[in-house]
């Protein structure tokens, strides 16, 4: 939270949620649609959905509309992108392994 005052204080208070939230939204989106549409299409759709959502929120903040916060920070775009990439990597390297193992049973 905002009272965190230990290691990497500025990163944790300013950017950690901007990395973790897009990553988790991507992964939850995959859980929601993965069984209904092909995996490749779900990955593309999930990436596009989270990218558009995150960047729209930041642009609204830039224009004075307080959505999930009220402060525009251009570095949030980098944090959102990192979060999306982390979600995709987790999808490719962890979730896909579980899915393959489940198919083998």
d(CA 42, CA 40): 5
Per-residue pLDDT at 6: 77
Assign 9 a pLDDT band (cuts: 50, 70, 90).
confident
pLDDT, tens digit (0-9, with 9 covering 90-100), for 18-61: 899 999 999 999 999 988 999 999 999 999 999 999 999 999 99
pLDDT, tens digit (0-9, with 9 covering 90-100), for 62-84: 999 998 888 899 999 999 999 99
Question: Does the structure show a pLDDT above 80 at 13?
Answer: no
- What is the mean predicted confidence (pLDDT) over 6-16? 77
Per-residue pLDDT at 2: 63
Residue (of 84, 83, 16) closest to 46 by Cα position: 84
Question: Does the structure show a pLDDT above 90 at 88?
Answer: yes
Question: Does the structure show a pLDDT above 80 at 1?
Answer: no
Asked whether the CA dihedral 55, 58, 63, 64 is positive or negative, the reply is positive
């Amino acid at each position: 939270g905002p009272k965190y005052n230990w290691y990497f204080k500025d990163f944790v208070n300013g950017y950690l949620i901007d990395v973790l939230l897009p990553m988790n939204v991507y992964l939850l989106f995959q859980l929601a649609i993965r069984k209904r549409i092909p995996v490749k299409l779900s990955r593309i759709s999930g990436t596009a959905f989270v990218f558009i959502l995150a960047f729209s929120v930041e642009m609204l903040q830039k224009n004075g509309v307080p959505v999930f916060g009220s402060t525009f920070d251009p570095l949030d775009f980098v944090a959102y992108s990192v979060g999306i990439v982390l979600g995709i990597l987790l999808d490719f390297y962890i979730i896909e392994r579980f899915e393959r193992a489940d198919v083998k049973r």
